[in-house]
Amino acid sequence: MHLDELRRDIDAIDTQIHDLVMRRAEVTSAIARLKGEIRSVPYQPLREAAILSRLLGRHKGDLPAASVVRLWREIIGASTRLQGDFSAAVFFPADASPEAGLDVWKIARDHFSGGTPLIMHDSAPQVVNAVATGQASVGVLPLPGDGDLNPWWVKLLGEGPTIPRVVAKLPVVGPLATGDPQLLVVALAADTNGADRHLLAIECETQTSRAGLQDGLVEAGLEPAFCVAWEDRHDDGRRWHLADVCGAVAIAPAVLATVERRAGTAIRAVVEIGGYATPLTDGHQGSGTYS
């Protein structure tokens, strides 16, 4: 074929792609109207993860998979904004290096696409509050760690439709950006059914060995990815542990007994503060059922 013929083919394909993108936007608007009628949560990260997982599973040819992800992240981001105002609150501590702040900004930008407003906060609790009060649609926060006197995840221990929940680990697909992984929180009674992993806040009766608690979770088959501790010095030394586990949200009595035996203490409460699909960067495309 001649060069001009190939270029005409490209023009024809571009027209078909554009027609389909416009048709997708029409369907998205119809979904937005239906969600408004049934009061459904407008943002579904697990659904987005399933879309990208399916596309990457069928992708072939010379176009890099990362380019496919970037294309669809822009489409999904634009589709999300078609359903209403959408913005992201992002934690960027004042004492962080410019490079670290840029890394977090890139992770958020890659995930939400170029048109989504990003609002930077120098306090993690401010991000949680922005989501809880509706000032931002979602919040981007660092993975929990030890040593924080006011950890953001304890703000998620309450109940109610305005209490944010963790719904994704960023980047969902990558690597599209450098920097440490981040967690995404959403309010509005976010649905984590079908998530591969869950974040469980566990209140213990006494000072508890984190190693013992983690061993108990392993023996119970929950495969913890991390476990951090926090002690509320203003409330009789309440001791909470946060564990990222694989498995069902509800812990059966036999599982709880196993954890208690290895931890050497009674467990007062277990609160699920969110869940997420396993990022494709981890070499796993997720096992949950999404709709």
Half-sphere CA count of 184, side-chain side, radius 13 A: 25
Taking the C-alpha atoms of residue 111 and residue 105, their distance in angstroms, rounded to an integer, is: 10
Structure confidence at residue 284 (pLDDT): 38
Stretch among 97-101, 176-180, 190-194, 268-272 having the lowest mean pLDDT: 176-180
Span 29-39, pLDDT tens digits? 898 888 776 55
Q: What is the extent of the structural domain holding 239?
A: 197-275
Taking the C-alpha atoms of residue 5 and residue 8, their distance in angstroms, rounded to an integer, is: 5
Q: Which two tokens stand for residue 205?
A: 């009766």
| Residues 211-216: contacts with CB under 8 Å, at least 24 apart | 212/262, 212/263, 212/264, 213/241, 213/243, 213/259, 213/262, 213/263, 214/243, 215/262, 215/263, 216/258, 216/259, 216/260, 216/261, 216/262, 216/263
Query: Rounded mean pLDDT of the chain?
Result: 83
Does any domain span residue 228? Answer: yes
Mean pLDDT, residues 128-146 taken together: 92
Residue 255 pLDDT greater than 70, yes or no? yes
Report the domain count for the chain.
Answer: 1
Stretch among 57-71, 128-142, 162-176 having the lowest mean pLDDT: 162-176
32 CB neighbour count, 10 Å cutoff:
16
Does any domain span residue 258? Answer: yes
Mean pLDDT, residues 245-266 taken together: 82
**CATH code where residue 249 lies:** 3.30.70.260
The reported pTM is 0.84
Does any domain span residue 23? Answer: no
Mean pLDDT, residues 255-281 taken together: 85
